[in-house]
Amino acid sequence: MIQNKYFSFFLLLLAESIERFSYFFVSFVLIFYMMTNIENGGLEFSQESAMNMGGYFSFGILVFPLILAPIIDKYLGFFKAAIYGGVALTIGYLLAFLSGYLSAYFIVAALIMIVVGSAFIKPSISVLVGKLSNFSSISHDLGYILYVISVSAASMGSAYLSAKLINKYYTYKPFFIISFFCMLFFTFIIYYLNKNIKLNDQKIIHEKPTKKLSYILAGSMLFCLFIGASTTISSKIFSFPNSLTFWLLSLFSILFILFGTLKFIKIKGKMLYFILMSSFFIVFLFVNLFIRNLGEIAPILPGIFSSFDMLQNFFIFPIVLSFIAKYSPVGAQATMQSLAFFLFSLSTILVKNILPLSSITGSKLILILALLIIMITAAFVRYVYKVKE
């Protein structure tokens, strides 16, 4: 048995960071790999075929967690589902690697295995984050903030490294074998945790179905929907920061605030959340104004909007996930987590592809974004007040 209660949580974060790293490391080059001709190391599918396969793949990544989550809740359990997912992803990346040597159509089986593996892992790990950080109410919430930070850092880091490698070496197959070994490591870690942790020993916060519980869960799902829409609109208006210094300083500043909160601040309850939210926003505003463009002060208005965007992604959204984990019915924890991620992703797709944002002028789009930000922030303050009373 693992004696250090924090060790298991951080080991879980390491495993999920590795899984996200391997996924984005591959997904960045997947379409290019399928379209590139054989002489240059690709599979030489037509552009239409590759785009269609990529579309089906994206649809599966979005929908399959909702299909498999009830099976996880009712039959498999979270650790076992994560192990199955790790095995499926390992096989998927191996098949993608072999598709360049044996048969190009191995890539179809590879994509199916990646979809299934991701669908098992995402809701399972999200539930396990809550169970392994549940030493107190605040540690549970901070655990989800660390979870979002770690997977975001791994995702951005893998995409950055993937772009650098493909531009330097112009080859695809090593990407899949690297992800294959990453997933072997992930699966080993989850297997180790499963053998050394009894989830029944963890203190679980759940309530019997009440009007307040329904309010919390319904409000949480609406937050996921609107945060996804807000961040997507923001990305259409303002450029996404690509400075490594910017993101390193932002993420390390958040970690410093979280450590200081746990170590030194004795305030509890609603006031602590308002202090954390204010501290996060001040840090984000500082890096957006002074670090985004080193050597000069960035424009104030984009800096404010980008700061609220980061606040939603790195504070409000993980706190909402934490509330969902706390108050979900015992037999539907993975289902509720997968629904939250589905609504977040669905809103981004709707905003990108369906809403006629291209026909809306810049000033009107900024006004829509400002109203969304005000609504989300004000509603979140009210939401925390109601949940914590």
State how far the Cα of 184 lies from the Cα of 91, in Å rounded to an integer. 10
Domain boundary among 201, 228, 255: 201
* Contact indicator for 250, 287 with CB cutoff of 8 Å: yes
Q: Indicate the number of domains in the chain.
A: 2
Is residue 376 one of the residues assigned to a domain?
yes
Claim to verify: residue 223 and residue 361 sit in the same structural domain: yes
**Over the chain, what is the mean pLDDT?**
86
pLDDT of amino acid 219: 86
Is residue 258 one of the residues assigned to a domain?
yes
State how far the Cα of 343 lies from the Cα of 253, in Å rounded to an integer. 29
What's the predicted TM-score (pTM) here?
0.91
Instruction: Compare 38 and 344 and report the one with higher pLDDT.
Output: 344
DSSP 301-357: HHHHHHHHHHHIIIIIHHHHHHHHHHHS-GGGHHHHHHHHHHHHHHHHHHHHHTS-G
Domain boundary among 173, 201, 229: 201
Claim to verify: residue 107 and residue 234 sit in the same structural domain: no
Claim to verify: residue 178 and residue 265 sit in the same structural domain: no
pLDDT of amino acid 201: 40
Average pLDDT over residues 326-349: 91
pLDDT of amino acid 351: 83
Claim to verify: residue 250 and residue 368 sit in the same structural domain: yes
Find which of 69-83, 204-218, 361-375 is predicted with most confidence, using mean pLDDT: 69-83
196: Cβ contacts below 8 Å, ≥ 6 apart: 1, 2, 8
Is residue 47 one of the residues assigned to a domain?
yes
Is residue 206 one of the residues assigned to a domain?
no
Claim to verify: residue 98 and residue 215 sit in the same structural domain: no
Average pLDDT over residues 263-280: 77
Claim to verify: residue 175 and residue 121 sit in the same structural domain: yes
Q: In which domain, by residue range, is 376 found?
A: 211-388
- For the cut 50, the answer to whether the pLDDT of residue 204 exceeds it is no
- For the cut 50, the answer to whether the pLDDT of residue 202 exceeds it is no
State how far the Cα of 166 lies from the Cα of 86, in Å rounded to an integer. 25
State how far the Cα of 165 lies from the Cα of 181, in Å rounded to an integer. 17
Average pLDDT over residues 211-228: 86
Claim to verify: residue 334 and residue 378 sit in the same structural domain: yes
Is residue 371 one of the residues assigned to a domain?
yes
Q: What percent of the chain has a predicted confidence (pLDDT) above 70?
A: 89
Claim to verify: residue 197 and residue 220 sit in the same structural domain: no
Between 107-116, 338-347, 348-357, the lowest mean confidence (pLDDT) is in: 348-357
- How far does CA 16 lie from the centroid of its chain? 10
Per-residue pLDDT of 230-271, as tens digits, reads: 988 887 777 766 677 788 888 888 888 887 776 666 666 678
Burial 234-265 (b: 16+ CB within 10 A, else e): beebbeebeeeebbebbbebbeebbeebeeee
Is residue 292 one of the residues assigned to a domain?
yes
Claim to verify: residue 66 and residue 184 sit in the same structural domain: yes
Claim to verify: residue 323 and residue 378 sit in the same structural domain: yes
Average pLDDT over residues 371-378: 88
Claim to verify: residue 65 and residue 195 sit in the same structural domain: yes
**Which CATH number fits the domain that encloses residue 152?**
1.20.1250.20
State how far the Cα of 142 lies from the Cα of 129, in Å rounded to an integer. 10
Domain boundary among 168, 201, 234: 201
Claim to verify: residue 30 and residue 106 sit in the same structural domain: yes
Is residue 58 one of the residues assigned to a domain?
yes
Average pLDDT over residues 51-78: 94
State how far the Cα of 298 lies from the Cα of 77, in Å rounded to an integer. 48
* Contact indicator for 148, 227 with CB cutoff of 8 Å: no
- For the cut 80, the answer to whether the pLDDT of residue 340 exceeds it is yes
State how far the Cα of 246 lies from the Cα of 167, in Å rounded to an integer. 23
Is residue 245 one of the residues assigned to a domain?
yes
